[in-house]
Chain A
Amino acid sequence: MQRRNLLDLDELEAGELRGLLDQAQRFGASPPRRDLLRDIIVVNLFFEPSTRTYTSFAIAEHLVGADVIALPPGSSSLGKGETIADTALTLAAMNVRVIVTRHPESGFPYRLAESFEGHVINAGDGCHAHPTQALLDLLTLRTEFGRVEGLRVALVGDILHSRVARSNILGLQALGAEVLLVGPPTLLPASMERGRVKVLRSLDDVLPHVDAVMLLRIQRERIAAAVLPELDDYARNYRMDARRLELLAPHAIVMHPGPYNRGVELTEEVFDFRGWRYAQQVAHGVSARMAVLDYVVNGLPVSPAPPRPESILV
C-alpha cells in the first residue's frame, strides 16, 4: 500500500501543494461526491482539546463519506503504557485506514506514521506543525488574491511556540510568498530569519507594506513563564486595533487561526474591518481537510491547474 501521510507541508512538492489547493478550491465551490472515502475507516485521535479543528475534520470526514470513529482525549491506552507502535498496530488490525491526530508533543505523528500501516494526518503536534491550518490559510489567500506567489504576508506574535506559524512559513515559502515575522525577541528569535523570511520588531512599520496579516494566539502561560510581561505591554506593540487597521493598504486582509483573545491580539474594531477573513478561514478549513483526506487515500487527481487570474496588486 502506498503510505501517503500529511505530517507537514515540507513533504509536498510545490506542484503537489498547488494540486491540493486546487482540489480544495473545487470542493469549496461544489461539494465532492459522498463516496470519495466510502468504506474507509477514519479515527480521530486527539490528545489535546480542540473545538475548531476537531469539528472541521469531523465535518470534512462525513462529507467525503468516511466511517468516522472518534476517540475522546484520555481514552487511549497510550496513557496506560501502551507504546505508539502498539496503538498503530492495534488500529491497523481493525482495518483503520486513516488516523487524524493531534498531540501536545512535537513529533508524535511522525512516531505514529513510522509504525502505522495506513495514512496519518497531523492535526497539530506540539509547537511543530499544523499543516491543515496552513492549507486553509493558503486557500484563503489564494481565494482573496488569486495567487500566493509574490504576496507579502506578515505573521505576528508568538512565532516561537506556534505550529500554525511554522507550517505557514513552509507553505508560503514553497508558493513564493515573502514572509515577514513580527514579534518581540522572546517570542521570535532573530535566528528565525533566513532567505525570504525576515524578522522584524515593529508592526507599525510593517503594516503599510503587506497584503495579509496573520495574527497568532498569545497563550497566557507565557506571562507566568517570564516570556512576556502583562498582556497590555504586548498589546502596545502588536495588538491589531483601529489605529493599526488604518495603516494597512486598502486591499490588505487580516487573518487569525482562532481562538482569538479579544483585547490581546486584536480589538473589536477588527471584526468590522472590511478585510477581516476569519469566517472564510473557518469555511476553507472544511474544504482543505476534505482535499487532504482525498489526497492521502486516493492521491492527487491528474488534471491541469486552473488558469491563474492576474494579480489585483501593483
Chain B
Amino acid sequence: MNLLIRGGRVVDPSQSLDAKRDVRIENGLIAQISEHLEPDDWGFGETGVVDAENAIVAPGFIDMHVHLREPGQTHKETIATGTAAAVAGGFTSVACMPNTKPPLDTPALITEVLRLAGEAALARVYPIAAITKDRAGRELAPFWRLHDAGAVAFSDDGSTVADARVLRQAALYARDVPGVFIEHCEDPALKGDAVMNEGDASLRFGASAAPGLAEDVIVARDLLICGETGKPFHLAHLSTATSVDLVRFARSRGTACTCEVTPHHLLLDDHRFTDFRADAKVNPPLRGQRDCEALRAAVRDGTIDVLATDHAPHTREEKAGLLADAPPGFSGLEVALGAYALALPDLPLERFVALLSANPARILGIPGGTLRVGSLGDVTVFAEERWTADVSRFQSLGKNTPFDGWTFPRRPIATVVAGNLLMYRGRLAARTPV
C-alpha cells in the first residue's frame, strides 16, 4: 500500500528537517519527501492520502518501556490489545519488558512474542529479554541466544538486579552482545514493602514508604558498573532529582549511559494519593514536587534521552484493592503524548520528537526514528489540539490511569506503520498481515 501524507509540518531531527513537506511511502518505506506531491505522481497501485494540514509529521514514535503482559497475564493486557493501545496513542513501535509469566528468558519465548506481534499486525514489537534467569537475580540469561532470537535489550524490569556481583558479571559477559542493559533502580532492602514515597503524604497516611534514596543508591551503583564494564546502561523511569544529578556526573566522566522519564513522574507528586486509593501507586513511586521539577529541567537540559510510558496495565479489580495489595503501575500509552506536552510546554518540537523517535531507536539499535528516504515507513502525525482523556475509550485492557479526565494540549492524529494507516483521529483500522 502506498500512502501520501500531505500538507503537514515535517519535523525530523535525524535530518534537521523542520518544514512544510509532503511525505510519500511506498512498499513500506519512505519513498520521497517533497514540497508538493500528488497521489498520482507515480501512479503505481493504489495510494491513500492522509490530510496533515495544521499537523506535525514526525518519524514514528517509539515507546521503549511497555508491559504487554503476554504470555501469562492476558487478563491485564495482550500483545494485540497493547499494540492497539500503542497505535491509538500515536506509537508505531514498542519495546516490551520481560516480566511476563513466565519471564522472557529463553529464545523460544522471544520467538513467541514476535509471532503474536506479527499476528496482531499493529505496532512493531521489540522484545526485551531478562538479564537473569527467571528474573531471580542469580544466574545469567543466555544473552547471545536471546539476541539471536530477536531480543533488542536486556532488563529485569520490575526488579533491580540486587546483587552487584551478578550485575557486574552480566555486564562483563554481555558487553559485546548488541542490546543495552535497562535497569529498574530500586534497592530492595530500602524499598521493603513500601507502597509509596517517603514524605509528607506517607507520614500522614501511616503508609509503609521508601525514600528516594532507594533509587539513588542503585543509580549510583549501576553507573559505576556501567563505567567499569563498558556495557551501555539505560536507566529506566528515573524519579528523583538526585538520580539525574548522578547521571550528569557519570557522563562528565565519560560513562556511556542513557536514561528515560515517564509522564507520571514528570507531572504527578505523592499528593496524588487520596483516601488510600491505589490509582496513584506505581514503581518507582510518585515523589515530591521538587523531584518533578528536577525531572522536567533534566529533559530540557538534555540529561534525559527518552520519554517512555512504563505502560503497566492492570484490571480495575486489582487496582481497586487496598493500597498494600494493589499492583503498581498505570496504563500509559493512550495518554502519553498529551501528558508529555502538558509537562513540557516550552520544549522545542524538534527535541520533543527526538525524545520519542530518534533517541530510543539509537539506544535500542532498531530501525526507525527517521524519515530519511529508504527508512521504515513509520510515521506519527500529531497536532496542537486540546483534548480530554477518557479511560473508557482506551484500547488497552488496563483502564488504570491517574490522568483520566485530564485535558492535554497535544494529541496524536495518525499512526502509520510500514505505510499502513492504522489510526486516524482516534479510529483504528485493521491491518492486513504482510
Interface residues of A, Cβ cutoff 8 Å to B: 83-85, 105-108, 110-111, 114, 126-129, 160-163, 166, 189, 191-192
State how many residues of chain B have any CB contact under 8 Å with chain A. Answer: 17
Which of B295-303, B321-329, B348-356, B363-371 makes up part of the contact surface?
B321-329
Q: Is the CB of A127 within 8 A of B200?
A: no
CB neighbours (8 Å) of A160 from chain B are 203
Q: Is the CB of A166 within 8 A of B206?
A: yes
Question: Could you show 17 A-B contacts with beta carbons less than 8 Å apart?
Answer: A83-B317, A83-B320, A83-B321, A106-B207, A106-B323, A107-B275, A107-B276, A107-B322, A107-B324, A111-B322, A126-B206, A126-B324, A127-B207, A128-B205, A128-B207, A161-B206, A189-B203
Given contacts A127-B206, A129-B206, A191-B200, A110 and B275 within 8 Å (CB-CB): yes
Complex CA gap A84/B276 in Å reads 14
Does B199 sit at the interface, judged by CB under 8 A?
Answer: yes
Given contacts A83-B317, A83-B321, A106-B323, A163 and B203 within 8 Å (CB-CB): no
Given contacts A127-B207, A161-B206, A110 and B199 within 8 Å (CB-CB): no
Q: Is the CB of B206 within 8 A of A128?
A: yes
Q: Is the CB of A111 within 8 A of B276?
A: yes
CB neighbours (8 Å) of A161 from chain B are 206
Complex CA gap A85/B206 in Å reads 23
Kindly list 19 other residue pairs between chains A and B, CB separation below 8 angstroms, not including A107-B276, A114-B275.
A105-B325, A106-B206, A107-B205, A107-B207, A108-B322, A126-B324, A127-B206, A127-B207, A127-B208, A128-B205, A128-B206, A128-B207, A160-B203, A161-B206, A163-B206, A166-B204, A191-B199, A191-B200, A192-B203
For window 177-232 of B, CB contacts with A under 8 Å fall at 199-200, 203-208
Binary CB contact string for chain B from 60 to 90 against chain A (1 if under 8 A, 0 otherwise): 0000000000000000000000000000000
Q: Is the CB of B320 within 8 A of A85?
A: yes
Complex CA gap A106/B203 in Å reads 12
CB neighbours (8 Å) of B204 from chain A are 166
The 9 closest A-B pairs by CB, nearest first: A107-B276, A127-B206, A128-B206, A105-B324, A105-B322, A110-B276, A110-B275, A106-B206, A107-B323
For window 319-363 of B, CB contacts with A under 8 Å fall at 320-325
CB neighbours (8 Å) of B325 from chain A are 105
With a 10 A CB-CB cut-off, give which of B276, B317, B325 has the most chain A CB atoms: B276
Interface residues of B, Cβ cutoff 8 Å to A: 199-200, 203-208, 275-276, 317, 320-325
A110 to B: closest C-beta gap in Å: 5
CB neighbours (8 Å) of A83 from chain B are 317, 320-321
Complex CA gap A105/B195 in Å reads 11
CB neighbours (8 Å) of B321 from chain A are 83-84, 111
Please, which residue of chain A has its CB at the minimum distance from the CB of B204? A166
CB neighbours (8 Å) of A84 from chain B are 321-322
Complex CA gap A136/B199 in Å reads 29
Complex CA gap A123/B126 in Å reads 51
Complex CA gap A106/B200 in Å reads 16
Complex CA gap A192/B199 in Å reads 9
B327 to A: closest C-beta gap in Å: 15
CB neighbours (8 Å) of B276 from chain A are 106-107, 110-111, 128
CB neighbours (8 Å) of A114 from chain B are 275
B251 to A: closest C-beta gap in Å: 32
Complex CA gap A107/B201 in Å reads 13
CB neighbours (8 Å) of A111 from chain B are 276, 320-322
Complex CA gap A30/B39 in Å reads 92
Q: Is the CB of B323 within 8 A of A105?
A: yes
Please, which residue of chain A has its CB at the minimum distance from the CB of B324? A105
A311 to B: closest C-beta gap in Å: 31
Complex CA gap A197/B323 in Å reads 27
CB neighbours (8 Å) of B323 from chain A are 105-107
A170 to B: closest C-beta gap in Å: 10
CB neighbours (8 Å) of A107 from chain B are 205, 207, 275-276, 322-324
Please, which residue of chain A has its CB at the minimum distance from the CB of B199? A191
Complex CA gap A162/B322 in Å reads 19
Q: Is the CB of A191 within 8 A of B206?
A: no
CB neighbours (8 Å) of A110 from chain B are 275-276
With a 10 A CB-CB cut-off, give which of A107, A111, A114 has the most chain B CB atoms: A107
Please, which residue of chain B has its CB at the minimum distance from the CB of A194? B200
CB neighbours (8 Å) of B207 from chain A are 106-107, 126-128
B204 to A: closest C-beta gap in Å: 8
Complex CA gap A196/B386 in Å reads 44
Q: Is the CB of B203 within 8 A of A191?
A: yes
CB neighbours (8 Å) of A191 from chain B are 199-200, 203
Complex CA gap A14/B135 in Å reads 53
B315 to A: closest C-beta gap in Å: 12
